[in-house]
Structure formats: C-alpha cells, structure tokens
Structure 1
Amino acid sequence: MELQRIQKPEGLNGTLLECEKSSGQEDGDPAAEVTPAEQVGFLSPNTSKKPSQFTDFEGKTSFGMSVFNLSNAIMGSGILGLAYAMSNTGIVLFIVLLICIALLSAYSIHLLLKCAGIVGIRAYEQLGLRAFGPGGKMVAAFIICLHNTGAMSSYLYIVKYELPLVIQTFLGLTENTESWYMNGNVLIVIVSICVVLPLALMKHLGYLGYTSGLSLTCMVFFLISVIYKKFQIPCPLNGTEATTPPTCYNGHNVSATSSAGEECKAQIFTLNSQTAYTIPILAFAFVCHPEVLPIYTELQRASKRRMQNVANVSILAMWIMYLLTAIFGYLTFYGRVESEMLHTYSQVDPLDRLILCVRLAVLVAVTLTVPVVLFPIRRAIQQLLFHGKDFSWGRHVGIAISLLVIVNLLVIFVPNIRDIFGVIGATSAPSLIFILPSIFYIRIVPSEKEPLRSRQKIQAACFAALGFIFMVVSLGFIVADWVTTGRSSSGGH
C-alpha cells in the first residue's frame, strides 16, 4: 500500500510531462528537446534504459555526500564577518535575523524543487527557459555566473592576502620580503593550477563530496578554536587599561582608559549606522541556490522530499555553525571585533600558533570551495552555448581553465574589488534567493493546479516583492556608504 501511494503521484507527473513534451514539440519550444532525457532517472528511473543526454544525471551521490556538497556551497567567507554583524545588532536581533534568513532560504529551495518536480527539469537555466523562454534562460544563467564568479574571487582574495602571512609566520620572518613565495598574486596562480584546477576537472560534482567534507572539517576546527579562545583571551584585550595607547577598531579610536565594564558588556539589542549591512551579510551567507539543482541531479534515489531533506540538514548545520561562531567571536572581543575576525585575533597575538593553524584551516576550506562554486557556472555556460551536445572533455576542461583565468585576472588587477562585490552581492543574492524562485514558481505551476490567487502563489509573489525591496535597500545603503565614507562596508558570501 505504501509503495502504491508513493508511485501514484510520480505517474501523474509523468503523464503531465508527456503532455508538456508533446505541446512543446508542436510549439517549437526549445525546452522540449531536453525534457525526455531529463525525465529519465528523475521521475521514473527504473522504467527506461534510455541513456541520459547529460553526463551528470546518473544519481550516484549519497545523501551524506550531498549534504557535504551543499553545506560547503553555503559556507563561505561571510562566516568571518558574523561576529562583527552581531556587534552591530545585538545578540537577540542577530538571532532573529539569522532564523528568518535560514527559513526564507529553505522556503526558496522548496519553490525551486517544486518547479523542477512539475516540469522534470533540474537545471536552473532550463527553469528560466520554461518560465520565460530564451530571455529567462539567459537572465538566470547570467545571474548565476555573476554571483559565483564574485564568490570565487572572494575566496581567492582570502588566499591572496592570508597565505603570505601564513608563510611568513612559518618561516619566522619579521617583515615581508620581495621573494616570489611572499607575492600573493603568484600564490593564487599556483593554488589555482595545483589545487583548484584538478578538482574543477572532475566530471561529476558528487566526487567533490570528499573535499567538501575536508573543507567543512576545517571550518569546524575554526569554530572550536573560536570557542576555545573565548576562555583564553581576557577582556579588556590589553590587560592593563592605563599603559596601552589608543587602538583603532572599526574606523574609530578606542581608548585604553575606557571602562572595562562598558567595553566587556554584551549588547542584547542595538542599532547603529552599520546595522543595515547585517541583512546582506546574512543573506549572502546562505546563498547556495545555483548548486541546489546540480546536487539534486546527482542525488541517489532523487525525489523532491529527499532533496529538501538534504537542504534542510545543510541549512540547519550551517545555522548552528554561524550562530556559535558569531556568539563566541562577539563575546571574545565585544565592540572591538573587526569585520574580518582573524585580523582581530592577530592583533592580540600575531605569533599565536593556534591562530596560525586556524588561518591555514580557513585557507584550505575556501580553496576547496572554489571548485564547487565553479560547477554551476560551467553548467550555465554549457546550457547557453552548447545545449543538447554530447559531453566533451575538451569543452569541459576549456571552460574550467577559462573561468579560472578570468577570476585570477580579477583578483590580481582590480584594485578595489570589495565595492564591486557589494554591488554584485546586493543584486545577485536577492535574485537567487527571493526573486527567481518565486517568479519561476508563479509561471511554471499550472493555474489548474494552483490558481493565480491561491495562497501558495500569493506567498510566492510576496516573497519576490521582498527580494526587490531587499535589493533596492541594499543598493541604497551601499551607495550612501560610498558617498559618505568612500568605501563599502558590506560583506560578501
């Protein structure tokens, strides 16, 4: 009885897909070309032996490896700025915002999976094609490429600036030298060729589950170190209040003679000029939507419920890590925490071996995340330029090399890329989390099943409106920050 109950809706969906296939072929719909191949192994994997048109529709990745890959896609450099975000909101407001963003991200994934289940398509760009035609496909692919290119660049920027410091500490050097191994630009090229490129050449995203597990292990070590340091670093930081000169934190001078009671007091709820940047920081920290459908593609025994469970477990795990990192980082430095938390630890003790190991762990984590982020960009390019063509190793390798060359050039030659990332993040993150999943859902779900005025579609419309508001507000605050201070204070993914 249970087996029949589960199989029935799949059969119904299969019937719907066949009808859409026939309709698409009659109307000349480009999406109809991919529908038969994408149905195989998705709704009825055991009823057809027809080989898949795409090489990544084999469904061999386990539930655990899928969780590792999606968690690694969620985890980004933004975790280093969460304690700073908490210092500008207070503990209670930060927790409320963190819960809201996590729930909204999970709901967004639900909309994507429901769209994919209705039309039998597990490619973000193809959902855009089915919803709005070629224009929708191009917009979706462009936003994915824009956001993930920015994310890859931000990770390599961490390598560029942190790896020379790690090498300098390991070699016991007291100051920077002109040696090639202390040149950040040279180091990112070496890391890209020796580490990132071999992983990016993997044929299937599922194979990166092992490196994703290692990356997450490094971030768990980072979290454990943050918790440990909370009980090792005294407050106030300098120990003696009268003899230490003022220190500059977060753009203003903090006098060493300030009251220790005020300096070491946690804020439960606070608002200031930097509070507005907390929502963008948190939203960017949960962007993983370009990776959701490729991971869904390779999931064993793929179903909407199973993939939603993968997403829920991943988001919950990252929510816990984000919360603990923010709380213990904030309770270590309070108002003195910097936007990049590792810099704050370095000011306390530049030669601390534990912090050196933490820096190394963060470098490993962000380096191993770059290939995971590269896969959706390559998939988007293939969907746009080489749709319907058989797999080619030459094309697979060529796209990966070209993307790494572009990202390396960005990191090397763009002098002030933080502002560019601020604009990219403020536009692509709300598009991927709020706007695109909502409008895809409204357009793809048949009106016979859910009328336009149904509760589900009204919720989706409100969700899209929230994304537009978020985009406008974020861009407004970034531009205002440029005008008043000449720099952007927002974090990236």
Structure 2
Amino acid sequence: MVFFVGVLIYKKTQLPCPLPFFYHNSPNLTMNSSMLHNGTGIVQFSRAETAIHLDLRLPATAHTTDIYYEPHGHDNEDMCRPKYFVFNSQTAYTVPILAFAFVCHPEVLPIYSELKDRSRKKMQNVSNLSILAMLIMYMLSALFGYLMFYDNVEAELLHTFTKVYKFDTLLLLVRLAVLTAVTLTVPIVLFPIRSSIITLVFGNQEFSWIRHILIAAAILVFNNMLVIFVPTIRDIFGFIGSSAATMLIFILPAAFYLRLVDTVPLRSPQKISAAIFLAVGMVFMIVSLSLIVLDWIHNPPGSGGH
C-alpha cells in the first residue's frame, strides 16, 4: 500500500492536466490538420507509451507522445478544478466502501493470538496504529487519484491508467504488489470464515481434512465467480459494506452490549448511546442498500452507467 501511494504521488507530478482522454466525449473539442503545423494546444508527457483515445491518431515514440487538441471555452479550467462535494447515484457507495475498508474484525483474534505477552491494552494499541496508518494511506491514494483524473476517475483506479499508458513499468509493479498482497491476505481472512462455517454448521464434530479442504475450496470458487461476473469491484465493496460491514461495525456490537451487559442500567448514558448507535446502523444499512439497488436498476452494471 505504501508503494502504491508513492507511485500515485509520483504519477501526479508527471501527468499534465487535462489529459487527452478527458476530451473523448467533449463537444467543445475540434481538431484539424493545421494544428500539426502551428502547434496549437500541445500536451507532452513522457516516460511511457500512451494510449490516445481520440479520433485523431498520431504516431508516438517509445518515450514521448505529442497530442494536439484545441479546447474551446473553459474546458481546461472546468476539467482540472476539483469539486469538493459531489452528489449523484455513485454517492451511495461512499460510506459503505469506507465501512468495508476499515472492517478488520475477522483478523482480530488470529492477530491477538500471535502477540507476545498479549493483553487487551496491547491489542488496542495495535488496532489504533493499524487503523491510523490505513486511514492516512487511503486518504492519500484517494486524494491523488482524484487530482489526477478528476471526474474521469473510474471505479478501479489502476484501470483508469490504461487510458493513459499502454505500458508502464511502475504501474506493472504496483499491480504485482497488489496481487501479492491480496494473495497473502487470503489465508488470514479464510481462516476465520472457515472456522465460523464449521462451528455454525457442524458444531462439535471431530475435525475432518476433507471437510476442511472442501469448505476452503468452495469459498475460493465463490470469490473467483464474483471476480469474473461482477463488472467492478465497487459493486462488491458497496453491497458488502452496506450489509456485512454495517452489521460488524454498528449493529452487532451495540446489540451485544445492550443484551449481554446486565450491570449497567438500561437508561444509563452508555446503553442510550449503544441504542442510538444501533438505530443509526440500521438506518444506514437500509438507506445504503436501497440506494445501491436503485443505482443497479437505473444503471445496470456493465451498461456504462457506472
């Protein structure tokens, strides 16, 4: 993740604004052969071959590409001006994705069991440090990703770079690093999921290697099917974030506290706060799921509406 953020910051310093593909659907763009002679509106950037998604195809060298275009009006100013608040059909995904990003509950017990001289205070310090580090990296990656592509950023940031680069070594290394991180994370996430399924379905039955392997294989096959058939990972993050993540962050902790803690009076500030937390979680889950489903209905995944 640190490498990914570093590459984003570096690419932000290398790419101009606006990028040529910003004008792909712009009605205020005209191009003609005279531009090749007078050099009107030249954008030049280097260090990679670029994929020009414009009607005019110009020969590109291995390291430098000159894109000629002539924007009208205030296209440059509008396209490269950040919008601080944007409300549209995709806004429904924002909070669910954030909730999903900070769900670390399934890994808490495995990590706690590996701590030396483990204690609740030490585990709390580990959690605080981990969440703070991820918050900083998420904010930096979101900020610089947006400042590179603005309204043209896609649901998957790395995929947006394919509109700019045909091939880039740094981006290839980032993809490899992400792939490695996800691959190494699978056993950590798989362990609590499989343990929960075994406990829920099979109870106290004796350990079986066949059952152990089949459950793991079924989970992996299900994940691969999602990757193949769901157009963007945003849909997965949005749905799980508004359902499972909301349950883990808001609803279940508050419900457990209200149900299991008998030493605190029902009208105490702690239980009132827990009840409010529970209600907020329920409202958030219902509203988020409703908005996401409505977005799927009006903009079916894969139709280009996203």
TM-based fold match above 0.5: yes
Q: Following the alignment from structure 1 to structure 2, what is the Cα–Cα distance between the partners of residues 370 and 262?
A: 42
Q: Which amino acid aligns with 1:459?
A: S
Which residue, 247, 263, 273 being the options, matches 1:459? 273
Cα pair 1:422 1:488 within 8 Å, conserved: no
> Quick one: which amino acid aligns to residue 119 of structure 2?
S
1:230 and 1:328 in contact (8 A); partners too:
yes
Task: Considering Cα pairs closer than 8 Å and 6+ residues apart, tell me whether 1 or 2 has the greater RCO.
Answer: 1
Q: Is the 8 A contact 2:99 2:242 kept in 1?
A: no
Letter in 1 for 2:12: K
Name the counterpart of 2:26. Answer: none
Question: What does 1:293-304 correspond to in 2, within 5 Å?
Answer: 293-304=109-120
Deviates more, 1:471-480 or 1:226-235: 471-480
**What is the CA–CA distance in structure 2 between the aligned matches of 1:324 and 1:444, rounded to whole Å?**
40
Question: What amino acid maps onto 2:5 in structure 1?
Answer: L
Name the amino acid aligned to 1:456: Q
Q: Distance in 2 between matches of 1:420 and 1:457?
A: 33
Amino acid at match of 1:382: I
Residue of 122, 142, 159 corresponding to 1:306 = 122
Partners of 1:487 and 1:408 lie apart in 2 by 18
Q: Give the equivalent residue in structure 1 for 2:283.
A: 469
Match runs of 1:333-344 below 5 Å: 333-344=149-160
Secondary structure in 2 aligned to 1:330? helix
Instruction: Identify the residue that residue 347 of structure 1 maps to in structure 2.
Output: 163
2:15–2:148 contact (8 Å) kept in structure 1: yes
1:122 is aligned to none
Per the alignment, residue 234 of structure 1 pairs with: 16
TM-score by length of 2: 0.75
Moved more, 299-308 or 399-408: 399-408
Identity fraction in percent: 57
CA contact (8 A) 1:346 1:355 kept: no
Secondary structure at 1:350 match in 2: strand
Q: Which amino acid aligns with 1:352?
A: D
The answer on whether the counterparts of 1:430 and 1:471 sit within 8 Å (CA) in structure 2 is: yes
Q: Aligned pair in 2 of structure 1 residues 372, 435: CA closer, same or farther (>3 Å)?
A: same
Write the letter of the residue equivalent to 1:455.
P
| Separation in 1, partners of 2:101, 2:183 | 17
Deviation at 1:346?
A: 1.2
**Aligned AA for 1:461?**
A
How do residues 68-467 of structure 1 correspond to structure 2 at under 5 angstroms? 219-238=1-20, 242-243=30-31, 245=54, 257=72, 259-388=75-204, 393=209, 395-411=211-227, 414=229, 422-446=238-262, 448=263, 450-467=264-281
Compared with structure 1, are the counterparts of its residues 279 and 481 closer, same or farther at alpha carbon in structure 2 (3 Å cutoff)?
Answer: same
Structure 1 unmatched runs, 5+: 1-218, 247-254
In structure 2, distance between residues paired with 1:333 and 1:417: 18
Give the structure-1-normalised TM-score.
0.48
**What's the Cα RMSD here?**
3.0
How far has the Cα of 1:486 moved from its partner? 2.4
CA distance in 1, matches of 2:134, 2:148: 21
Measure how far apart 1:400 and its partner are.
Answer: 2.4
User: 1:308, 1:256 → 2: CA distance?
Assistant: 54
Contact 1:223/1:324, CA 8 A, preserved across alignment: yes
CA pair 480-488 structure 1, distance change in 2 beyond 3 A: farther
1:486 to 284, 300, 305: 300
Change (3 A) 1:313 1:338: same
What's the offset of the Cα at 1:443? Answer: 1.3
- The one-letter code matched in structure 2 to 1:269 is F
Distance 1:287 1:410 in 2: 20
Name the CA shift for 1:385/1:292 in 2 (closer, same or farther; >3 Å).
Answer: same
> Kindly tell me: are residues 385 and 440 of structure 1, through their superposed partners in 2, closer, same or farther at Cα, counting changes over 3 Å?
same
Quick one: distance in 2 between partners of 1:274 and 1:259?
Answer: 23
CA distance in 2, matches of 1:424, 1:458: 27
Rounded to whole Å, the distance in 2 between the matches of 1:415 and 1:224 is 29
| Superposition deviation, residue 224 in structure 1 | 0.7
Per-residue deviation at 1:341?
A: 0.8
C-alpha deviation, 1:305, in angstroms? 1.6
CA contact (8 A) 1:482 1:488 kept: no
Question: 2:257 touches 2:274 (CA, 8 Å); kept in 1?
Answer: yes
Give the structure with the larger helix fraction.
1
Secondary structure of 2:267's counterpart equals coil
Q: Residue 99 of structure 2 contacts residue 241 of structure 2 at CA under 8 Å; is this kept in 1?
A: no
Task: Please list every run of 5 or more consecutive structure 2 residues that lacks an aligned counterpart in the other structure.
Answer: 24-28, 32-52, 56-69
State the Cα distance separating 1:415 from its structure 2 match. 6.2
Distance 1:407 1:333, change over 3 A: closer
CA contact (8 A) 1:235 1:264 kept: yes
8 Å contact from structure 2 (residues 97, 238) kept in 1: no
Q: List per-residue Cα deviations over 1:254-311 (Å, max 9, x = no partner).
A: x965621111112233433432321112111112222223333343323222211111
Closer/same/farther in 2, CA of residues 264 and 420 from structure 1, 3 Å limit: closer
Does structure 2 retain, via aligned residues, the 8 Å contact 1:435–1:463?
yes
User: What is the total number of aligned residue pairs between the two structures?
Assistant: 261
Quote the offset at 1:238 in angstroms. 2.1
Confirm or deny: 8 A CA contact 1:481 1:487 kept in the other structure: no
